[in-house]
Structure 1
Amino acid sequence: MLYYIKADQFFYPYDVKKGGYLEIKDGKFGEWMAQVPENAKVVDYSGQWIAPGLVDTHIHGFGGADSQDAEVEGIMGTMSEGLLSAGVTSFFPTPLTDSHEGLLKCCEVIGEHYAEARGAKVRGIFFEGPFFTEEHKGAQNPKYMRDAKMWEIDDWQKAAHGMLKKVGLAPERDGSEDFIRKATQAGVKIALGHSNATYKEAVAGIEAGASIWIHTFNGMSGLTHKEPGMVGAILNTPNTYAELICDGHHVRPEAAEIIMKMKGADHVVLITDSMRAAGLPDGPYMLGEFEVEVRDGAAWLPTGRPAASILTLSTAVKNVVDWGIATPAEAVMMGSLTPAKSVGLDDVCGQIKTDYAADFIVLNQDMSLAATYLDGEKRYQA
């Protein structure tokens, strides 16, 4: 099937094309062109913008389903299909800290069934834990936290059929540097977070091969003039990727702006960190083994601190523009290409490029989501 998308703007990786038409052929992107052949089929989005489908590399759940449940229908059905309403066309199901056996079950389910996703495509698995520190445990159970061992990764990766793409850890834990070196050599991206590391310990983790920072500012040692900590290391390591939860609760816009100015849109990864309550009404929900209260646009622990969010990625992209801290092109990049690059997936998703799967979104000029396409087929209409 061949058709052409007409729109006011097309967000390419490092360029915004004004007007014209984008060719969609057999579910893949073709060329952008100023004019189309006579009698061509045109889908007219005049007054609107076309952007690559969003890529969420850190998301626990959506629409009542959660990665931790290790249920095929929940992940490949409810989450996958629901995420299309958030503009997400590729994602990493993200289990929390758990026992070896609990995480093994997640790997088995996702590794054996990821190709069955009915909506957004499962591109890999992110383990947010269990190699964290109790000082910054967040909404995770410290009884499962432990030092990182390669035998666990080997077990999980075998069960996941190679889909375990990203693992988080606290770099101050014993043996972390050796583990990071071995894990990265095995093709796993290492993300640092939920950590009380000193600046020196954090930078040592980066030098060993880690390249991503888990939800910057949240669950980590802060910056002071005497001990720059994890936050100082993020600001001072230019070739690393900083995740940000831009819901207005986890990080103030001013703090997010500092990270964006220091790192650039090509090294800031917008994530949701959302839990099963995303897309559902307020009320009590379970996050792993802990009960949280969803209200006022976030999920809250009984202590009054925010837990995993209920943010959608399309809202995060819109927020950073509304806050005046990013241009539309920068916001799109931080929600699509940069996440894909951070986990080595920019060869298959995260950008409009000839012969890539035609996974894209239609944006209104206020950055709100109008539609989501998967393999050239419209799957969600706002």
Structure 2
Amino acid sequence: MDQNGFFVKSDRIVLAGGVVASGYLPVADGAFRPVVQELPEGAEVLDCTGKWVTPGFVDTHIHGFLGHDVMDCDPEGINAASVELARHGTTSWTPTTLTQPAEQIGEACASVWQADQLRGDDFVGARIEGIFLEGPFFTAEHAGAQNPAHMSDPSVEQVCAWQDEAHGLICRASLAPERPGSAEFCAEMSLMGVATALGHSNASYEEGVAAVGSGATSFVHTYNAMTGLGHRAPGLVGAAMTTSETYAELICDGIHVQAPAARAMVNAKGWQHVALVSDCLRCGGMPDGDYELGDFPIRLQDGVAHLLDADGSMGNIAGSVLTLARAVKNVVDWGAATAEQAIRMASEIPARMSGVDDCCGVIQAGRAADFNVMGADLELETTYVGGVPVR
């Protein structure tokens, strides 16, 4: 098949406006063309009848894959992870940093930009669309797998320094809204075009809503590492549920968030404001064993990653080994969303949440032909990046 000119036939093409139940999606020179109902003579057809043709998934909270981590500050490793991510249905990502010393975060940001520069025209892997700073502006009460020793109050000046090293790639930054200076930080980030996310926080509902009023637009792995929902103290989870224009990340692996909680969040916010993320670690795509996450040792056992305590016992859950393709299937199997909704929750919605929806997240004429073919059962079959199959 000529990957520079073919037509995708399906009765389930997920476009930004909805599902097209009949027609042909043209791919030419690595980009989408408008859907047509009739084929030109001699056209080459990729027949996906009965299958889902979806936008490539966009993972906007992910630390690594296939043994590589963003904090390794290794451009070649980032590109190796990108290739494997594409084989698992993720065609765009925003490499995500951890709470580490400021110098290392800067080096990590620089390495992401360097990875992008190393790619030639023949590179086929998940596209780097930005950088997400997960930390260091958190609080120790809900540190999770982040190191409290490196946490600090939010600093616009520090983010500007990292942005210089990232060559402008930083698109989203996170913080605990109870930290001093949070309101000013959210407002300044908004002016800079950097979205802000709330998490790893002991904030009250009122503190969370105040941060949203100052410009915060999303919540980091909602439910996890934040104050929970109480009927007299709604907490940060309550703020996520009741601020209608914000976005809530969900790690839908059945471990971080179970099915009833996922349904509750989708019902509260509407699927249009729930973004599926993986929060995947370097052990994603790898066998069970011992790995590292920042300063901490972790153990992957039976598909679950835990911090290792000093005595060798397993402690807190530390990120995931989830892929967005699996998250989509989980959300549908759990009855939290329809197939179309779940697909868009893993593509269009996270792209919009992170401000990168101008370049990824939808099947649209003129955009790069990044798409997935999934069976009727939502099992991933093939992924295309720029019209080239990678799986």
Alignment TM class, shorter chain as reference: over 0.9
Cα deviations by residue, 1:298-350 (Å, 9 ceiling, x for unpaired): 20123533111011111001111112221110110100000111112222110
Shift of 1:14: 2.9
Distance in 1, Cα, partners of 2:115 & 2:256: 33
1:326 aligns with 2:337: yes
Distance in 2, Cα, partners of 1:47 & 1:233: 40
For 1:279, what is the secondary structure of its paired residue? coil
Cα deviations by residue, 1:227-283 (Å, 9 ceiling, x for unpaired): 111011011100000000000000111001110111112110000001000001111
Q: Is the 8 A contact 2:76 2:115 kept in 1?
A: no
- Choose from 10, 13, 38 the match for 1:35: 38
| Aligned residue in 1 for 2:189 | 183
AA aligned opposite 2:220: I
| Aligned residue in 2 for 1:137 | 143
Shift of 1:196: 0.4
1:370 aligns with 2:368: no
| Aligned residue in 2 for 1:100 | 102
Distance in 1, Cα, partners of 2:88 & 2:198: 26
Q: Is the 8 A contact 2:278 2:320 kept in 1?
A: yes
For 1:223, what is the secondary structure of its paired residue? coil
Q: Is the 8 A contact 2:78 2:115 kept in 1?
A: no
1:284 aligns with 2:290: yes
Distance in 2, Cα, partners of 1:154 & 1:22: 42
| Aligned residue in 2 for 1:75 | 78
Shift of 1:226: 1.6
AA aligned opposite 2:274: V
| Aligned residue in 2 for 1:221 | 227
- Choose from 59, 65, 69 the match for 1:56: 59
Q: Is the 8 A contact 1:291 1:301 kept in 2?
A: yes
| Aligned residue in 2 for 1:5 | 8
Alignment of 1:1-382 (within 5 A): 1-76=4-79, 78-117=80-119, 118=123, 119-302=125-308, 303-380=314-391
| Aligned residue in 1 for 2:311 | none
Shift of 1:19: 2.7
Shift of 1:7: 1.8
Distance in 2, Cα, partners of 1:116 & 1:354: 27
Distance in 1, Cα, partners of 2:69 & 2:276: 20
Distance in 1, Cα, partners of 2:213 & 2:148: 27
For 2:231, what is the secondary structure of its paired residue? coil
Q: Is the 8 A contact 2:145 2:316 kept in 1?
A: no
For 2:33, what is the secondary structure of its paired residue? strand
Q: Is the 8 A contact 1:93 1:122 kept in 2?
A: yes
Distance in 1, Cα, partners of 2:45 & 2:250: 37
For 2:268, what is the secondary structure of its paired residue? helix
Runs in 1 of length 4+ with deviation above 6 angstroms? none
Shift of 1:11: 0.6
Matched-pair identity in %: 46
Q: Is the 8 A contact 1:95 1:106 kept in 2?
A: yes
Unmatched 5+ stretches in structure 2: 309-313
AA aligned opposite 1:93: P
Cα deviations by residue, 1:157-185 (Å, 9 ceiling, x for unpaired): 11110001111100000111111111111
Q: Is the 8 A contact 2:130 2:356 kept in 1?
A: no
Q: Is the 8 A contact 2:217 2:247 kept in 1?
A: yes
Q: Is the 8 A contact 1:199 1:233 kept in 2?
A: yes
For 2:352, what is the secondary structure of its paired residue? helix
Cα deviations by residue, 1:195-241 (Å, 9 ceiling, x for unpaired): 00011100011011010100000000011122111011011100000
For 1:114, what is the secondary structure of its paired residue? helix
AA aligned opposite 1:75: I
Q: Is the 8 A contact 1:298 1:311 kept in 2?
A: no
Number of matched residues?
Answer: 379
TM-score for the superposition, normalised by structure 1: 0.97
Shift of 1:116: 3.3
Unmatched 5+ stretches in structure 1: none
Distance in 2, Cα, partners of 1:325 & 1:296: 25
Distance in 2, Cα, partners of 1:126 & 1:296: 28
Q: Is the 8 A contact 1:112 1:161 kept in 2?
A: no
Distance in 1, Cα, partners of 2:315 & 2:56: 34
For 1:261, what is the secondary structure of its paired residue? helix
AA aligned opposite 2:263: E
Distance in 1, Cα, partners of 2:305 & 2:114: 31
The farther-off stretch of 244-253 and 15-24 is: 15-24
